[in-house]
Structure 1
């Protein structure tokens, strides 16, 4: 593998870590309703576990409410059960056609807990990025021991990988700070 290939693979994996963090943070509550809260709820639909977003149209008609319109009216009961079984802490109200979820405002204590959860998720992403850096550095060292890369190439490669690590850690920090600010905003 060349320096560029090692760096590209590391960059691709780091990008995936940031994407995963973004997806995880979408499900963290803020003070207002967000369809991301229920996107990942899985519903038992004809024997298979299906994400809610594939079974219904999700919207937020009001700042404190999520509206779920199932494409198939026969699954309303299954969706209600899935939401109740999830750890969202939201009570679904159904009229047989649509489901309404009222999202209560967060207390100061809840906001602090959620903010800490965001910090934990961000730290997991930073650890993943550092592990990717370690793997890429090991790959470069293997290439150098096999005489594919010179010592100068190895140093250049490690510098590139470190620069990528810094770039993606900064991205993670920015995303986490933005989400934490969103949560703490009253």
Structure 2
């Protein structure tokens, strides 16, 4: 009996991937099509993700372009973007909406860094939960007599190393995002 390291590793990688997704939604002054991911549009009697009623592209570093497929949906898309609390002001041009990204001021940059730190902490907590599950399984296996005390110690060290590696990966992703946000 031994702990399933591939499962622990998969779950820790899941925490990292969720963290990467959270970071992608943070606005850094550079345009990204991911910035509009949280927006839902009231379309055809239901709430739909923006990417199901329009094509989102980034033609310039500080501009997002939204090309609405159905002409009758332009107003709803414009309204959804304005009401999203993301601070965007779309310019309507036929079935296209151009969204210029304003420069980030110092205060807003610091707020974004705080948000990034919150996301990082959430990812670390998720990682520690996975470690705890692994350690509990090892203790139970030793108690049940499935593994010796020495094996339990060796495997616990492996689980801890996996945790440390994951947390350092989260820290380096955070440092990169922080540098990107603070870059003027």
TM-score (norm 1): 0.91
Q: Secondary structure at the match of 2:66?
A: strand
Contact preservation (8 Å) 1:64, 1:102: yes
CA offsets, 1:103-132, max 9 Å, x none? 100011111111121112111111111121
Structure 1 runs of 4+ aligned residues shifted over 3 Å read none
Partner of 2:31: 33
Q: Secondary structure at the match of 2:98?
A: strand
Cα deviation for residue 46 of structure 1 reads 2.3
**More displaced stretch, 41-50 vs 25-34:** 41-50
- Unmatched tracts of structure 1, length 5 or more: none
> Structure 1 residue 52 and structure 2 residue 50: aligned?
yes
Structure 1 residues 91 and 159 mapped into 2: Cα distance closer, same or farther (>3 Å)? same
Partner of 1:70: 68
Q: Secondary structure at the match of 2:114?
A: helix
Q: Distance in 2 between matches of 1:166 and 1:181?
A: 23
Partner of 1:110: 108
**More displaced stretch, 166-175 vs 37-46:** 37-46
Q: Distance in 1 between matches of 2:145 and 2:70?
A: 61
CA offsets, 1:157-179, max 9 Å, x none? 21111111111111101111111
Contact preservation (8 Å) 2:30, 2:61: yes
Q: Distance in 2 between matches of 1:145 and 1:54?
A: 53
CA offsets, 1:66-88, max 9 Å, x none? 00112333322222222122120
Contact preservation (8 Å) 2:69, 2:95: no
Contact preservation (8 Å) 1:18, 1:168: yes
Q: Distance in 1 between matches of 2:168 and 2:36?
A: 28
Q: How does 1:148-167 map to 2 (within 5 A)?
A: 148-167=146-165
Q: Distance in 1 between matches of 2:148 and 2:44?
A: 58
Partner of 2:2: 2
- How many matched pairs? 184
Partner of 1:130: 128
- Unmatched tracts of structure 2, length 5 or more: none
RMSD over aligned Cα, in angstroms? 1.5
TM-score (norm 2): 0.92
Cα deviation for residue 13 of structure 1 reads 0.8
